[in-house]
Amino acid sequence: MPVFSGRIPKTARERLSQIKGDNTPAIAIVNYGNAQISDSLRELVDLLDENNFNVIAAGSTVSHHSIFDGVAVGRPDSEDIAKIDEFSQKCIEKLETCESLSAEIPGNKPYSDYKQLPFVVSCDESVCVFCYDCINICPENAIPDVDPIDIDLDLCTRCTACINICPENARMFSGEAFEAKKPVFESANSERKEPEFYL
For position 116, what pLDDT does the model report? 86
> Which residues lie below 8 Å from residue 140, measured CB to CB, with a gap of 6+?
11, 155, 156, 157, 159
- Tens-place pLDDT, residues 156-176: 999 999 999 999 999 999 999
Percent of the chain with pLDDT over 70: 100
For position 172, what pLDDT does the model report? 95
Q: What is the largest CA-CA distance in the chain?
A: 58
pLDDT value at 188 more than 90:
yes
- pTM for this structure? 0.91
Query: Yes or no: is domain 120-174 CATH 3.40.50.300?
Result: no
- Tens-place pLDDT, residues 111-139: 999 988 899 999 999 999 999 999 999 99
- Euclidean distance between CA atoms 67 and 163, whole angstroms: 10
For position 115, what pLDDT does the model report? 87
- Tens-place pLDDT, residues 11-31: 999 999 999 999 999 999 999
Phi, psi of 164, rounded to the nearest 5 degrees: -70, -30
Element (H, E) at 92: helix 78-94
- 196 to 29, 42, 65, 168: CA distances (angstroms): 10, 13, 17, 36
Q: What is the mean pLDDT of residues 140-151?
A: 92
- Euclidean distance between CA atoms 21 and 48, whole angstroms: 8
